């Protein structure tokens, strides 16, 4: 049957189960948007900036059961605006398929308007760049893109589509979705892993991103394994929802700059199991725990791609497999006896963690201590809430004071890209209608992609956006102070901000201002009471309380 390439691409996306595409309209792919208007099962979300659209696609790829989020952008400037999302998806191993317009084929190589060589531009932030220059290859390219994005170490794949291709007729068949191929642990691997865990007195389990991609069932089985085998579990950077932070087997959060007393205790471990954790500088405390390339303790690395296992560290046991499959294999075995030494080890880690999480903070005179806001939000969060975070020191309050648990979603840019918080919250309201979505964002990130509140209004969703306004790029200010003590840095970090509550109301959202700690309880309650439109809570936050762990002019606590 003959149809246009645009129609064939729309049908191919539908065949791959795509129900949502995030875009900023562009003339280079009008033939596809025209065809998509006839496919009722696919919703096209029109965003305000390609960076925001890209972050939404990344978030959707995290929430959709391992299926890729889909981004549609125009050539040249459109793609350039979206590059931050490619960087995030690649480093975070998040599946995303990006469909990118290109100049007409007759103009290739002439430096036509907005022409770029995408193979060169994207080679370091994608798993593959697939250029489609023949109508017969269009559907096949879509099938290949989804297969690559969702397999092994997941990540972004780009499909390049020339503008003149969409209206061409083709009788090429629709390429069906390809079955996902997964690696697996051998019985010998499981035997050896079980023996290492049973023999260890002080094992430590890191639970990371590949486990998060396997959903709530994987997190539930991880809790069963921890209880039966007597294991402390530490969710890793930006994965705090993988294990209930109040569970007695919770061993502490393995994020950036773990507090010294907790990290010192962790370093007493005699076995480290990285379960679905890629292992990066953030998780390894700048490659010191474990040390790279040769760890200072036995290391087991479980990751679904053999190319990743052993790439940086030399593990004593490497298993290229689904982390959930490894958990199930261990659960199928009789649990070994749990010694008193092991029980004391788990209890000691958890005691330090609980002490660090105690809802205590000091008064601040230059604004609200953001700890008070986060602790109050904690009282309102639903068990199935989506929590998103932008990059910045304000996020340290989340990881110190929020009680994360399985059933919730936590969405952020693992690489610390600013601008992720608001669009990811909007994406959460679209993927999970009727459920809470709460974004935490700094004053810097809010004016990068906060205009996606207009997208929330367009599609009638209601995220809650909490802005920590300390009138500066706070993380950079802290680094200035630590590296160059007693030197001025205001000229390099200060910001002039709008009244974010008034700004929110100009979009038709609810705007709430919190200027003192006495206003926190009522302000947060009012924010959570609004259900029919977005809410922006403008917190006039302390700059002296630089993070949850550090005061300006003082040592890290």
Q: Write out pLDDT tens, residues 447-503.
A: 999 999 999 999 999 999 999 999 988 788 887 888 898 898 888 888 899 999 999
Q: Residues with Cβ < 8 Å from 494, sequence gap 6 or more?
A: 471, 472
Among candidates 361, 384, 365, 385, which has minimal Cα distance to 373? 361
Among candidates 282, 281, 330, which has minimal Cα distance to 302? 330
**How high is the pLDDT of residue 253?**
96
Containing H/E element for 464? strand 464-469
3-state secondary structure of 367: coil
Q: What are the residue ranges in the chain where pLDDT is below 70?
A: 554-557
Residue length of the chain: 557
* Secondary structure letter of residue 105 according to DSSP: G
- Bridge pairing between strands 169-170 and 3-4: antiparallel
**How high is the pLDDT of residue 422?**
98
**How high is the pLDDT of residue 556?**
60
**How high is the pLDDT of residue 423?**
98
- Answer yes or no: are the C-beta atoms of 232 and 197 closer than 8 Å: no
- Answer yes or no: are the C-beta atoms of 546 and 474 closer than 8 Å: yes
Q: How many whole angstroms separate alpha carbon 117 and alpha carbon 137? A: 19
Q: How many whole angstroms separate alpha carbon 411 and alpha carbon 108? A: 39
In this structure, what token pair is assigned to residue 304?
Answer: 């679904």
Q: Residues with Cβ < 8 Å from 27, sequence gap 6 or more?
A: 74, 101, 163
Q: How many whole angstroms separate alpha carbon 369 and alpha carbon 364? A: 6
Q: How many whole angstroms separate alpha carbon 102 and alpha carbon 472? A: 39
**How high is the pLDDT of residue 493?**
86
What are the residues facing 274 on neighbouring strands? 206, 301
**Residue that the structure tokens 């292992």 belong to:** 279
Q: How many whole angstroms separate alpha carbon 527 and alpha carbon 464? A: 7
- Answer yes or no: are the C-beta atoms of 345 and 232 closer than 8 Å: yes
Q: How many whole angstroms separate alpha carbon 404 and alpha carbon 401? A: 9
Give the predicted TM-score (pTM) of the model.
Answer: 0.95
Q: How many whole angstroms separate alpha carbon 250 and alpha carbon 272? A: 15
């Amino acid at each position: 049957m003959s149809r246009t390439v645009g129609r064939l691409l729309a049908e191919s996306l539908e065949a791959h189960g795509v129900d949502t595409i995030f875009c900023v309209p562009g003339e280079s792919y009008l033939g596809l948007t025209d065809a998509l208007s006839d496919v009722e099962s696919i919703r096209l979300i029109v965003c305000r900036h390609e960076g925001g659209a890209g972050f939404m696609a990344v978030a959707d790829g995290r929430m959709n059961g391992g299926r890729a989020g889909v981004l549609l952008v125009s050539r040249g400037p459109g793609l350039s605006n979206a590059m931050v999302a490619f960087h995030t998806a690649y480093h975070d191993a998040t599946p995303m398929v990006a469909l990118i317009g290109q100049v007409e084929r007759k103009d290739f190589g002439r430096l036509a308007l907005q022409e770029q060589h995408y193979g060169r531009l994207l080679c370091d932030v994608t798993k593959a760049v697939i250029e489609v220059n023949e109508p017969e290859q269009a559907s096949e390219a879509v099938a290949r893109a989804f297969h690559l994005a969702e397999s092994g170490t997941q990540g972004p794949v780009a499909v390049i589509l020339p503008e003149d291709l969409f209206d061409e007729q083709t009788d090429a068949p629709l390429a069906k979705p390809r079955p996902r191929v997964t690696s697996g642990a051998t019985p010998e691997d499981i035997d050896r892993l079980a023996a290492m865990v049973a023999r260890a007195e002080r094992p430590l389990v890191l639970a990371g991103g590949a486990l998060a991609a396997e959903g709530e069932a994987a997190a539930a089985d991880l809790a069963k394994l921890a209880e039966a085998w007597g294991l402390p579990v530490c969710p890793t950077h930006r994965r705090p929802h993988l294990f209930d932070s109040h569970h007695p087997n919770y061993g502490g959060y393995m994020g950036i700059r773990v507090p010294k007393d907790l990290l010192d205790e962790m370093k007493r471990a005699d076995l480290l199991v990285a379960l679905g954790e890629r292992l990066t500088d953030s998780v390894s405390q700048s490659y010191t725990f474990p040390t790279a390339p040769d760890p200072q303790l036995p290391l087991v690395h479980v990751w679904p791609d053999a190319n990743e296992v052993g790439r940086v560290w030399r593990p004593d046991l490497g298993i290229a497999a689904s982390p959930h499959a490894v958990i199930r294999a261990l659960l199928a075995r009789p649990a070994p006896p749990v010694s008193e030494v092991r029980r004391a080890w788990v209890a000691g880690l958890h005691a330090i963690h609980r002490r660090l999480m105690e809802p205590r903070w000091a008064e601040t005179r230059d604004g609200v201590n953001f700890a008070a806001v986060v602790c109050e939000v904690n009282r309102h969060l639903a068990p199935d809430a989506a929590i998103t975070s932008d990059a910045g020191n304000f996020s340290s309050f989340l990881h110190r004071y929020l009680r994360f648990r399985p059933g919730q979603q936590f969405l952020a840019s693992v690489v610390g890209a600013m601008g992720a918080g608001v669009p990811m919250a909007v994406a959460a309201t679209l993927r999970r209608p009727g459920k809470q979505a709460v974004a935490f964002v700094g004053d810097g990130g809010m004016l990068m992609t906060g205009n996606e509140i207009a997208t929330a209004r367009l599609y009638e969703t209601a995220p809650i956006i909490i802005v920590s306004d300390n009138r500066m790029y706070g993380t950079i200010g802290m680094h200035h102070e630590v590296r160059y003590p007693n030197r001025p840095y205001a000229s390099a970090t200060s910001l002039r901000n709008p009244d974010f509550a008034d700004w929110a109301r100009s979009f038709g959202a609810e705007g709430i201002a919190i200027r003192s700690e006495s206003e926190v309880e009522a302000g947060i309650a009012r924010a959570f009471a609004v259900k029919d439109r977005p809410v922006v809570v403008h917190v006039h936050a302390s700059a002296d309380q630089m993070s949850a762990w550090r005061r300006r002019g003082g040592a890290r606590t």
